Amino acid sequence: MTQTLLLTDPLFLRHDPGEEHPERPARLARILHLLETEPIHGTERRAPRPATEEELASVHTPRLRAYLQGLRGRHELVDPDTVTSPDSYDAAVLAAGASVQAVDEVLAGRSRNAFVLARPPGHHAEPDKAMGFCLFNNVAIAAEAARRQGAERVLILDWDVHHGNGTQAAFWTRRDVLYMSAHQYPYYPQTGAPFEVGEGPGAGYTVNCGLPAGGKDADYGALFQDLFLPVAEAFRPDLVLVSAGFDAHHRDPLGGMELTERGFGAMCTAMKTLADSTCGGRLVLLLEGGYSLEGLSRSVHTCVEVLAGEAKDSFPEGVSREAAAALQRSREALVRYWPGLGR
């Protein structure tokens, strides 16, 4: 069994929204260079396969799929933030397929865990709308693949600095997929308020905690300790997926948070420990945002070390008044669904 599978491909570098665009090929190139120059024992790099039409259709509407396929081979402005180049459609299909392949490998027991190093990212893509640098929603497609393979309960944790509106929309009324998000709030895309908890059968299965700008490692530690981990442990997932954005790093030019590489390592350690205790270690990380090349590459490297069993990180003690207030609002919105939060 491979300890940590890394799925990536040169095609991901050919998705090129433009030299001045934050989501540029250099992001992934820097990650791969660091992993080559500072290799981590227990990892295996492999090329992924494209997603099938059925896999894309598990999340996205025929209208969106046809629209995106029509952009193949073209430079196009999808929205003010989202730009395609001639290879972008094929890269997006491959990124979705890599996400499914990672789930396949982990659920089959061929890899203990995996990290999908792909672009474009996905968590802003809604079932019928591409937006926010994202074309297809990779983590949602991965969750649907897991459900088809028999995983009864799938957990998605999103630690990107921006709320994953697309993932939330995909599972808003579902209780078989639990979506949890730590993000800067208020901030793009203006979703992720604490009262957004899902509806119908899915009420309580969307867990949002938006922090004001300036959140530090200890603030995220409080979120995990007092909200995310208690809910996740009660949910008892069969698979853990992480929308791993690194734009909450203190160097990031877009985000306003103050996380360090060790903070990302602590979040990854917490999710690995959770997966070990609830679902045989079945854990998949999928790359989302992160726009400081140094902060992104170092933070990814730290998380891969954790996945491969080469490192563990823990959160520092303490929580700011502002983060504590945000955490309390989220707990109050969710305690009726997860009584353990009232303790």
Is 124 one of the catalytic residues?
A: yes
Question: What are 6's two structure tokens?
Answer: 């890394």
**At 112, which amino acid appears?**
R
Under 8 Å between Cβ of 96 and 141: yes
Catalytic residue among 60, 124, 162, 163: 124
The residues annotated as belonging to the active site are 124
